A = this chain, B = another copy of it.
């Protein structure tokens, strides 16, 4: 076997170990009995250890070195080598003790965060957050990728992205979104959302969600949907993509939109070209690109008039008591109502990105050593005031609302907003190629759109870096103008302003 093939085999074994870890995680979230939690964590720890040992072994180093000497590698092989090297070099920069300390602090921090949030009091979580930030600073310094330590953290989720670029993108975005928001708030349009809060039979919600994603192209021969507290998507191989959803009897948009969102992630994972199946390229180009797919389906498609032109009669038929006397137009507005709120996960399409910008600005301050952790709640509240014109009544509505920081996921939040930007730019490009897409959606043809996404995005997996991929697809760098244009066009019409 050639050195390159040995390297490929090694990284496909690592991928398999990773899939096994994913199965353990999936099982933990979906079917594991409560009493198994500790044993399950130990299994996950063991698998992570096996992974780390294999990844950082001298054999890996040697195979990378030898493979680098091979000339004229094809596109896929050179990407496999690039990703192998990238992963190996990052892994050996981090001492195993730091990995372990972060893992331990993450568990303690998560519990403290839960307690803290329940008691609406930041002080319980504070020492754990402080410790985690220290560890993440060390982690970023050791990685030493990009210009700043925050760039190193960003690189974990969005390879090649810099805080400088995000700052530029987001500061542009911030003022434009605030401007749109102001117009909407000042409009006379009042949107009633009560229809969404009635009781809808959970079994019928589930059935509807399954039928819907089937028509979007979710392939149940290589995937399934289950229920979990927090919806997620996970791959257990390139032919085993699973999503979860959450069904609430008295708020049916939860099941509906989380299903479409996760389906968007799953369609990406189901669409890799056969040649990269189960290799280290069988993953999204970045979290931002992944999020672009989920958000494209959830928001651009799933909250569009055309989508509901097709689905609303079916929804009415399933829930006649709730919806028979409610027009499609009113329903469309109900699911697109804009209102500043404290909680990110409940935010509409306009204010969502403001929540992200707030988090990015704070993360940047933290990793540039510009603030005291004790001041965080106040800073959070002031920024909420600045961006959303709201004052959180307590820390649970403010700094304690998100789980991410307790686990050390700094640099993760920006990818949610980058997803919006990528999505609009990619969708705009598809509309240029095929202006009939909205009409097709209105007729229940979702596969035409899916085919463009497969062709442009899905098939490549990690072959291209996100910044190259977006240029390859759309001919230009990431530009927030498409998102702004999309928001204006959609919401000015809904609110009769502009």
What is A's interface to B at a CB cutoff of 8 Å? 13, 16-17, 19-20, 23-24, 27, 31-36, 38-40, 42-43, 46-47, 50, 219-224, 226, 236-240, 278
Contacts and interface: CB of A to CB of B under 8 A. Distances in A.
Given A13-B46, A47-B20, A39 B221 contact: no
Contacts of A33: 220-224, 239-240
Contacts of A27: 23, 27, 236
Contacts of A226: 31
Given A36-B237, A38-B239, A19 B43 contact: yes
A42 B39 CA distance: 25
A35 to B, nearest CB: 4
Q: Which 4 A-B pairs have the closest CB atoms?
A: A39-B237, A36-B240, A35-B222, A35-B221
A43 B24 contact: no
B240 A40 contact: yes
* Most B C-beta atoms less than 10 A away, residue of A19, A35, A238: A35
Contacts of A50: 50
Contact of A237 (B20, B40, B240): B40
Nearest to A47: B20
A262 B239 CA distance: 31
23 contacts: A17-B46, A20-B24, A20-B46, A23-B24, A27-B236, A31-B224, A31-B226, A32-B240, A33-B222, A35-B219, A35-B221, A35-B240, A36-B222, A36-B236, A36-B239, A38-B239, A39-B237, A39-B238, A39-B278, A40-B237, A40-B240, A42-B278, A50-B50
A243 to B, nearest CB: 12
Given A23-B43, A27-B27, A36-B222, 7 more contacts: A31-B226, A33-B222, A33-B223, A39-B238, A40-B236, A40-B240, A42-B237
Contacts of A40: 236-237, 240
Nearest to A17: B46
B39 A239 contact: yes
Contacts of A24: 20, 23
Contacts of A20: 20, 24, 43, 46-47
Contacts of A39: 19, 236-240, 278
Nearest to A50: B50
Given A23-B24, A36-B222, A222-B35, A46 B16 contact: yes
Given A23-B24, A43-B16, A35 B224 contact: no
